[in-house]
Amino acid sequence: MRGSERYDAKQRKPKRGEVVSAGRNIPLDLALAFHSDAGVRLNDDIIGTLGIYCTRDDGGKFEEEISRLRSRDLTDIVMSQIVADIRAKYEPNWTRRGMWDRAYYEARIPRCPTMLLELLSHQNFADMRYGLDPSFRFDVSRAIYKGILRYLASQYATDYVVQPLAVRGFSARLTPSGARLCWEPTPDPLEPTAKADYYILYTRVDGGGFDCGRRVDATSVDVKQEADKIYSYRITAVNEGGESFPSEILSACRLSASRGEVMVVNGFDRVSAPMSVQGDSIAGFYNRYDSGAAYIRDISFTGEQVNFQRSLSKEENDAYALGQSYSDYETEIVAGNTFDYPSLHGEAIAAAGYSFSSASRLAVENGSVELSDYAVVDLILGKQRTTAIGRGAFEPRFQTFGEAMKSALRNYAANGGNLFVSGSYALSDLWHSPLATDDDRTFANEILHASFGGDMATQRGAVRMQVSKFSATTHDLEFTTELNSDIYCVESPEVVRPADKSTLTILRYRSNNRSAATAYLGDYGVVLLGFPFETITSADSRNLLMQKVLCYFDNER
- 91-120 residue pLDDT tens: 999 999 999 999 999 999 998 999 999 999
The predicted model gives 507-524 an average pLDDT of 97
Predicted confidence band of residue 383 (pLDDT cuts 50, 70, 90): very high
Residues 26, 122, single domain; the answer is: yes
Q: pLDDT tens digits, residue range 521-541? A: 999 999 999 999 999 999 999
Specify the higher pLDDT residue, 111 or 493. 493
- The CATH number of whichever domain residue 100 belongs to comes to 3.40.630.40
Q: Is 310 left (phi over 0), alpha (psi -120 to 50) or beta?
A: alpha
Average pLDDT over residues 319-337: 94
Residue 511 lies in a domain: yes
Domain assignment present for residue 286? The answer is no
Rounded to the nearest 5°, which phi and psi values hold at 153?
Answer: -60, -40
Q: Pick from 95, 126, 156: which residue ends a domain? A: 156
Do 423 and 543 share a domain, yes or no?
yes
Same domain, 130 and 44: yes
Could you tell me if 466 and 434 lie in one domain? yes
* Residues forming beta bridges with residue 294, ordered by sequence position: none
Of 247, 278, 296, which residue sits at a domain end? 247
CB contact at 8 A, 54 and 107? yes
Q: Residue 20's pLDDT band (boundaries 50, 70, 90)?
A: low
Please tell me whether residues 224 and 148 are part of one structural domain: no
Segments of 299-348 assigned E as strands: 334-335
Query: Can you give the residue range of the structural domain that contains 197?
Result: 178-247
Is residue 484 domain-shared with residue 343, that is, in the same domain? yes
pLDDT at residue 264 in the model: 98
Distance CA 325, CA 309 (A): 13
**Does residue 164 register a pLDDT over 70?**
yes
Task: Tell me: do 415 and 529 sit in the same domain.
Answer: yes
Beta carbons of 480 and 502 less than 8 angstroms apart: no
In this structure, the answer to whether residues 374 and 484 fall within a common structural domain is yes
At residue 184, does pLDDT exceed 80?
A: yes
Counting the structural domains of the chain, the total is 3
Same domain, 96 and 190: no
Residue 444, φ and ψ in degrees, nearest 5: -60, -45
Count of beta carbons in the 10 Å neighbourhood of residue 367: 10
Domain-located, residue 328: no
Query: What CATH code is carried by the domain that includes residue 425?
Result: 3.40.50.880
- Could you tell me the CATH number of the domain that includes residue 183? 2.60.40.10
- Cβ contacts of residue 306 below 8 Å, gap of 6+? 324, 325, 326
In a domain, 308, yes or no: no
Mark whether 19 and 140 lie in a shared domain: yes
Q: What is the pLDDT of residue 315?
A: 85
On whether residue 275 sits in a domain, the answer given is: no
Q: Are residues 26 and 68 in the same domain?
A: yes
Q: Which amino acid is at 141?
A: S
Least confidently predicted of 57-61, 116-120, 229-233, 296-300: 57-61
DSSP state of 387: B
Vertex 261 angle, CA 255 and 262, to 5°: 120
Radius of gyration for the chain, computed over Cα atoms and rounded to the nearest angstrom: 27
In a domain, 395, yes or no: yes
Asked whether the beta carbons of 516 and 529 are under 8 A apart, the reply is yes
163 domain-assigned: no
Which residues are 29's β-sheet partners? none
In a domain, 474, yes or no: yes
Instruction: Read off the pLDDT of each residue in 217-222 and give the average, rounded to a whole number.
Output: 98
**Residue 384: CB partners within 8 Å, gap ≥ 6?**
267, 268, 269, 270, 398, 399, 400, 423, 425, 426, 429
Residues 398, 377, single domain; the answer is: yes
Is the pLDDT confidence value at 17 over 70?
no
